[in-house]
Amino acid sequence: MKILGIDLGGSRVKLAIVDDGRVLELNVFPIRSDMPTQAALDTIAAQAAGMAGIAGCRGIGFAYPGIVDMQNQRVLCINDKYTDAAETDFVGWAKERFGLELLLINDAAAALRGEMDYGAGRGCDSAVLMMVGTGIGTAVYSRGRLLTGKHGAMGIMGGHIAIAHDRPRPCTCGNVGCLEAYAGTWALPGLAREHPDFDRSVLKKAERIDYRTLTEGREAGDKVCRDVFQSALNALCTGAANLVNAYDPDLLILGGGASRIREMRSAIRAHLDRYCRGRVRVAAADNPEASVALGLSSLFEKREKRGENAFSEQL
Ligand SMILES: [Zn+2]
């Protein structure tokens, strides 16, 4: 069945027309996460209406970067972006604007579902996803199901597991010492500026400081790029080991653009081999750009085949 998949990120939106695990049309555009959710929905509706494939869609899957109550299809909590999400009626919006039913789910959970069915997780029944992007999104698939916990937060808070307590860095969630505050892309400019050699680094004149600029700078011999990259990598290794120790998976899937950095995968693999019991495979997401849309498609397909009503039964 053909659906519209909406992947709302911290800086861009990916709209995809998907049919049974095939992406037929993709529309990616930038968005500001400091706008209210209602304004973001207006922008999304206007962009979606312009897509050729929207005609004939039978549902909308909406992947949200926050804690989602799957039973009631509402956002419970969103961290420092898209205010008013908790008061927004997403189901009503989809019905009113498109006449379609809506599935609302956490974005990392949707991405992991996509990777389990169509990507790096095929053939595996227990995996953890760690998506390195603006923040660090995580999700857990255990014995054939996505974990949700009592309040929809199980497995998705890996970016906010504290990894430091001695002079910890503040996080956007209000806590201190979180993994995100050391390895989320949002934290990298601050980490770079605190380096004593920042004024002599290529980063001083860089438009953006992210994993790509750090990687390019390292290769060119820039000390600050090397140190900041290594520090973030150490944090990711610690975070990955915490997730593996907590959830005991067969596979750790690295998602987000940074997952393409080979050195990141090999460092995390070596760290897990050394410090975690058992052998945990480490793989990059097969479809980092489309895993969310594929996961949303999978949930609609499963429900149609099984004839059950609630999406929360299809995880
Ligand atoms: Zn935090």
Res. 314: pLDDT tops 80:
no
**Cα 133 to ligand 1 centroid, rounded to whole Å:** 14
Q: In the CATH hierarchy, which fold is given to the domain comprising 120-284?
A: Nucleotidyltransferase; domain 5 (3.30.420)
CA 222, chain centre distance (Å): 29
Report yes or no: 82 and 37 within 8 Å, Cβ to Cβ. Answer: yes
**What is the arithmetic mean of pLDDT over 29-45?**
94
**Cα 98 to ligand 1 centroid, rounded to whole Å:** 35
CA distance 34 to 38: 12
> Structural domain boundaries of the chain?
2-107+289-313, 120-284
Report yes or no: 178 and 160 within 8 Å, Cβ to Cβ. Answer: yes
Question: Which of 124-128, 170-174, 189-193, 273-277 is predicted least confidently?
Answer: 273-277
**What is the arithmetic mean of pLDDT over 180-206?**
97
Q: Which of 9, 130, 133 is nearest to 64 (CA)?
A: 9
Model confidence pLDDT, tens digit, residues 231-286:
999 999 999 999 999 999 999 999 988 888 999 999 999 999 999 977 899 999 99
CA distance 262 to 266: 6
Mean pLDDT taken over the chain: 94
**Cα 176 to ligand 1 centroid, rounded to whole Å:** 6
Model confidence pLDDT, tens digit, residues 57-87:
999 999 999 999 988 899 998 777 888 899 9
Q: What percent of the chain has pLDDT over 70?
A: 100
Kind and range of the H or E run holding 243 = helix 223-247
Q: Which residue type does 269 have?
A: R
**What is the arithmetic mean of pLDDT over 185-209?**
97
**Cα 188 to ligand 1 centroid, rounded to whole Å:** 15
pLDDT recorded at residue 127: 98
pLDDT recorded at residue 79: 74
**Cα 162 to ligand 1 centroid, rounded to whole Å:** 7
Domains 2-107+289-313 and 120-284 share a fold: yes
**Cα 53 to ligand 1 centroid, rounded to whole Å:** 38
Residue 21: count of CB within 10 angstroms of its CB: 16
Decide the pairing of beta strands 12-19 and 22-30: antiparallel
Architecture of domain 2-107+289-313: 2-Layer Sandwich (3.30)
**Cα 34 to ligand 1 centroid, rounded to whole Å:** 18
**Cα 159 to ligand 1 centroid, rounded to whole Å:** 7
Res. 313: pLDDT tops 80:
no
| 15, β-bridge pairs | 6, 27
CA distance 275 to 233: 15
Structure tokens at 156: 């998705």
Model confidence pLDDT, tens digit, residues 248-262:
999 999 998 888 899
Q: Which residue type does 208 have?
A: R
Question: Which of 58-62, 103-107, 269-273, 288-292 is predicted least confidently?
Answer: 288-292
